[in-house]
Amino acid sequence: MSLYLLLSILPALYLLGVQTAPLTLRSPQKRTQGRTWKDQSLLWMQHQTTKGFLNAPDSKNPPRCGVPDFPVSPDSSNGHNRKKRFVLSGGRWDKTDLTYKIIRFPWQLSKVKVRRTIAEALRVWSEVTPLNFTEVRDGRSDIIIDFTRYWHGDNLPFDGPGGILAHAFFPKTHREGDIHFDYDEAWTIGTNLGTDLLQVAAHEFGHVLGLQHSSVSKSLMSPFYTFRYPLSLSADDKLGIQYLYGPPQPPTPPPTIKPEPKPTESESNEIPSSEPDACSTDFDAVSTIRGELFFFKSGYVWRLRGGKLQTGYPALASRHWKGIPEAVDAAFEDSVGNIWFFYGSQYWVFDGKLQASGPLQVSDLGLTVPRVQAAFVWGNDKNRKTYLFRGYEYWRFNPDTRLVESGHSRSMADWRGVPTSIDAVFRDEQGFAYFLRGLYYWKFDPVQVRVLEGYPRLISQDFFNCPVTSSSANSLR
């Protein structure tokens, strides 16, 4: 074929949604094999370069997905040409409980971090729909996630660093549920120094659930890749996914109890609200879980992300952890992602798939006390330890062996400035520890190994932006 004829054909192929394989691929016998969009995949592309485009945009244009977008059809229901912003692939899952499995992992990140990130990417969609996602390690699964290289069996080869980052397959297609990530990319989490796995994975899951690209530029389903933190859905993303699956199912409300008739003038049969008020309550437990802060009280939980209370909270803790006890005395997340809950003389452990084991007996941990009041993981990355607290005592605990390091307790006097009989404790990203008792908290400096000056302070004011009353402000002064 002459060079002139080849150059005249290539632009026509691009307009038809076809991209020829790059000439630099390792399999020369497949170079002429084209890629038609059809229903096969969506390519979340272009991190730093424009490699992979036939008519590459200049470097000032933002990276984008290389697959042609759906043409927007008019809405004939009202007789006007109204553009629908979110676009559907034409398929959806016929069930709301979906399983997923990770076949291979990127070399830059630990398996624990990848599993947490994938779970968080799925949580973005499950929070606004009735969908539930569970990781499985063996057997069949609805969604299969793989990190692979170059030609890998689906006629959509990767091209090394840059260019194509990932692709996914729609529901109701021959490879529904498959998601492939380019193993050779510089995968990172929470930083724009490489390719952010959380954002790419969340985008690809949108495709796997049935969404095409959105014309709203700042939506997660926009074809253009832009590093945004923290990750969130736009209103358009929510409209699209809820069009397919509907809104989330509300938690089952507690049964309404009809009040008894008033026996005497002095008694009241008014039923107080069962939902505690963060501005006037103490807390049973607090823990940093999956990078977010959770406050527990009487079966309810508040969720803070980036220091901001999330909408829809407080909510029943069972919404997040099915099988959690009716109340929680202490909670912590261990180094491999298991979440531990203590209540009374028992404890429960939720694994990475949020499946619970328990109840188990606290006495089996080697403790000589009947219950635990608070627990957290503290220290730097190389020297992190788990601590359990009760009254005037604390223990160092090994989650791997499920035993305290010594049957003999240590004195709370080691934590200079911290009161005894604390209600809860947690650690922030900078390494500071926060001890809670009643309505107040104490901030503990890991360098000075003592409570900072100016504490205690009100929990309600600093974490929930509640107004301060003179009585509460002066109660410990």
Q: How far apart are CA 373 and CA 365, in angstroms?
A: 15
Q: Is residue 178 part of an annotated ligand binding site?
A: yes
Is 207 marked as binding a ligand? Answer: yes
Q: Tell me whether residue 284 is annotated as binding.
A: yes
Cβ-Cβ contacts under 8 Å for 468 (sequence gap 6 or more): 458, 461
Sign of CA dihedral 205, 209, 210, 214: negative
Judge whether 154 is annotated as a binding position: yes
The response to whether 351 counts as a known ligand-binding position is no
Q: Is 174 annotated as a binding residue?
A: no
Q: Among the options 120, 204, 267, 393, which is catalytic?
A: 204
Instruction: Mention every residue, 6+ apart, whose C-beta is less than 8 A from residue 442.
Output: 417, 418, 419, 434, 435, 436, 451, 455, 456
160 assigned to a ligand binding site: yes
Q: Is 45 annotated as a binding residue?
A: no
Site of tokens 């539930």: 132
**Amino acid at the residue 135:** E
279 annotated as belonging to a binding site for a ligand: no
Question: Residue 203, annotated ligand binder?
Answer: yes
Q: Is 466 annotated as a binding residue?
A: no
Which residues does residue 43 pair with via DSSP β-bridges, in sequence order?
167
* Distance, CA of 212 to CA of 89 (rounded, Å): 6
If you search the block for the tokens 């020297």, which residue do you land on? 383
**Annotation says 204 is catalytic:** yes
Q: Which residues contact 19 (CB under 8 A, 6 or more apart)?
A: 13, 34, 35, 52, 53, 54, 66
The strand pair at 403-404 and 330-333 is best described as unpaired
Placement of tokens 């309505």 in the chain: 439
Token pair 């509640």 in the structure block, residue = 466
Residue 429 CB partners (closer than 8 Å, separation 6+): none
275 is in an annotated binding site: no
Is 417 one of the annotated binding-site residues?
no
Give catalytic residues, as residue numbers.
Answer: 204
Binding residues for Zn(2+): 65, 152, 154, 167, 180, 203, 207, 213, 221
Residue positions in the annotated binding site? Answer: 65, 142, 152, 154, 159-160, 167, 178, 180, 182, 185, 203, 207, 213, 221, 284, 329, 331, 375, 423, 425
Numbered residues of the known binding site for Ca(2+): 142, 159-160, 178, 182, 185, 284, 329, 331, 375, 423, 425
